[in-house]
């Protein structure tokens, strides 16, 4: 499926962009590279580290419960992005392909997905707390705010599908 296909849906294109973002930038290899080769005190370094927020991993010295929580967070970011893209009216109600409503629907879907994925997975994490859940949701929403424009651009111009 090509991203430039004129028959792609805004939901499908946005979900594909979210999947690529999570698979590439959430990978252990990218996370290690960003941790060792970027400066968190610069805007560029901060952004490159932020890209790795929904990280997933295979092995770690961390507890199995925390590894599961991180992997679930990465999966939920993609699944919730698809759900919110489908539910938000901007992608379905835009009068013409490529409207600003589709861009903002894609972007906001990623903000919501990041926040809710973090909130949900904090409850699975070791020693969960309400404060920790709120802080995680804030981190997820921050990730979505600064990275979600990519999903918004992918959803921009997607063909409006009809709802049954």
pLDDT tens, residue by residue, 61-114: 777 888 888 899 999 999 999 999 988 865 555 555 567 888 888 999 999 999
d(CA 144, CA 13): 17
pLDDT (0 to 100) of residue 80: 97
d(CA 44, CA 153): 21
Please state, for a pLDDT cut of 90, what percent of the chain lies above it: 59
pLDDT at 8 over 90: no
Run of H or E including 153: helix 130-155
Burial pattern 8-40, b for ≥16 Cβ within 10 A else e, equals bbbbbbbbbbbbebbeebbbeebbeebeeebee
d(CA 102, CA 93): 9
Provide the whole-model pTM.
0.85
pLDDT (0 to 100) of residue 151: 94
What's the whole-number mean pLDDT along residues 132-153? 95
pLDDT at 39 over 90: yes
What's the whole-number mean pLDDT along residues 137-142? 96
Average per-residue pLDDT for the chain: 85
């Amino acid at each position: 499926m090509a991203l430039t296909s004129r028959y792609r849906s805004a939901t499908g294109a946005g979900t594909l962009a979210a999947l690529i973002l999570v698979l590439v930038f959430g990978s252990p290899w990218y996370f290690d590279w960003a941790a060792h080769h970027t400066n968190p005190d610069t805007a560029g370094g901060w952004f490159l580290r932020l890209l790795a927020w929904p990280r997933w991993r295979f092995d770690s010295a961390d507890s199995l419960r925390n590894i599961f929580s991180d992997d679930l967070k990465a999966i939920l970011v993609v699944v919730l992005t698809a759900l919110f893209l489908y539910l938000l009216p901007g992608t379905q109600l835009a009068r013409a392909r490529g409207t600003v409503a589709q861009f903002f629907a894609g972007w906001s879907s990623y903000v919501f997905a990041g926040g809710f994925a973090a909130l949900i997975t904090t409850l699975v994490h070791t020693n969960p707390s309400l404060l920790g859940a709120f802080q995680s949701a804030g981190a997820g929403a921050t990730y979505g705010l600064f990275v979600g424009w990519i999903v918004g651009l992918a959803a921009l111009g997607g063909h409006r599908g009809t709802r049954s």
